[in-house]
Amino acid sequence: MIRKLTLKKEREHETNEASIAGNVMRDLIAHVTNDNLIGRKIKSGELRKKMVEPPWKCPDMFTMTTIEMEHFTMEWLELKENPNEQKVILQLHGGGYIGAMRNAYRTFAGLYNEVSKGMSVLTIDYRVAPENPYPAALEDAVSAYQWAARSGLVCRGYHCAGDSAGGGLAMALCHYLKDHGMQLPCGIVAMSPWTDLMASGESYDTNYERDPLFGNTRDSLIYNKDYVGDHDPMDAYISPLYGDFRGFPPMLIQVGSYEMLLSDSVSVASKARHQGVKVRLSIYDGMFHIFQMQQKCCQNPEKRGLRLENLLMFCQMTDIHINRKTIFIGDIGFPLDQWSEVIN
Q: Which of the four pLDDT bands, split at 50, 70 and 90, describes residue 2?
A: very low
Catalytic entry in 116, 164, 192, 265: 164
Alpha carbon distance 171, 169 (integer Å): 5
* pLDDT over 50 at 13, yes or no: yes
- Distance between alpha carbon 59 and the CA centroid of its chain, in Å? 21
Alpha carbon distance 75, 60 (integer Å): 16
CATH number, domain with residue 55: 3.40.50.1820
More confident call, 321 vs 185: 185
Q: What is the 8-class DSSP label of residue 6?
A: P
**How many percent of the chain have pLDDT more than 70?**
71
User: What is the identity of the amino acid at 130?
Assistant: P
Considering the domain boundaries, does residue 302 fall inside one? no
More confident call, 327 vs 43: 43
Considering the domain boundaries, does residue 2 fall inside one? no
Q: What is the mean pLDDT of residues 209-236?
A: 89
Q: What pLDDT does residue 161 have? A: 96
Alpha carbon distance 286, 16 (integer Å): 9
Tens digit of each residue's pLDDT (9 = 90 or more) over 119-174: 999 999 999 999 999 999 999 999 999 999 999 999 989 999 999 999 999 999 99
Q: Max CA-CA distance within the chain?
A: 58
With vertex at residue 251, the alpha carbon angle to CA 77 and CA 235, rounded to the nearest 5 degrees, is: 95
CB contact at 8 A, 169 and 140: no
What is the DSSP code string of 251-308?
Answer: EEEEEETT-TTHHHHHHHHHHHHHTT--EEEEEEET--TTHHHHHHTTS-HHHHS--H
More confident call, 303 vs 221: 221
* pLDDT over 50 at 339, yes or no: no
**Residue 120 annotated among the catalytic residues of the structure:** no
User: What is the identity of the amino acid at 178?
Assistant: K
Tens digit of each residue's pLDDT (9 = 90 or more) over 67-79: 999 999 999 999 9
More confident call, 299 vs 221: 221
Count of domains forming the chain:
1
The pTM of the full predicted model, rounded to 2 decimals, is: 0.80
Considering the domain boundaries, does residue 336 fall inside one? no
Q: What pLDDT does residue 8 have? A: 34
Q: Containing domain of residue 105, as a range?
A: 8-296
Alpha carbon distance 43, 193 (integer Å): 17
Does the CA dihedral 306-55-128-207 come out positive or negative? positive
Catalytic entry in 93, 259, 263, 265: 259
How many Cα atoms occupy the beta-carbon half-sphere of 126 within 13 Å?
A: 36
**Residue 259 annotated among the catalytic residues of the structure:** yes
The burial class, CB within 10 Å (0-12 / 13-18 / 19+), for 291 is: buried
Q: What pLDDT does residue 44 have? A: 63
User: What is the identity of the amino acid at 246?
Assistant: R
Torsion-angle region of residue 118: left (phi > 0), alpha (psi -120 to 50) or beta? Answer: left
Considering the domain boundaries, does residue 47 fall inside one? yes
Considering the domain boundaries, does residue 308 fall inside one? no
Considering the domain boundaries, does residue 338 fall inside one? no
Average pLDDT, the chain: 81
Considering the domain boundaries, does residue 309 fall inside one? no
Q: What pLDDT does residue 215 have? A: 80
Residue 330, number of CB atoms within 10 A of its CB: 10
Residues near 36 by beta carbon (within 8 Å), at least 6 away in sequence: none
CB contact at 8 A, 278 and 250: yes
- Distance between alpha carbon 289 and the CA centroid of its chain, in Å? 8
Alpha carbon distance 292, 254 (integer Å): 9
Q: What is the mean pLDDT of residues 104-117?
A: 91
Number of helices (H) and strands (E) in the chain: give both, helices first. 12, 12
Considering the domain boundaries, does residue 312 fall inside one? no
Q: What pLDDT does residue 214 have? A: 85
**Residue 220 annotated among the catalytic residues of the structure:** no
Alpha carbon distance 50, 287 (integer Å): 26
Tens digit of each residue's pLDDT (9 = 90 or more) over 18-66: 666 666 667 666 666 665 656 666 666 666 666 677 888 999 999 999 9
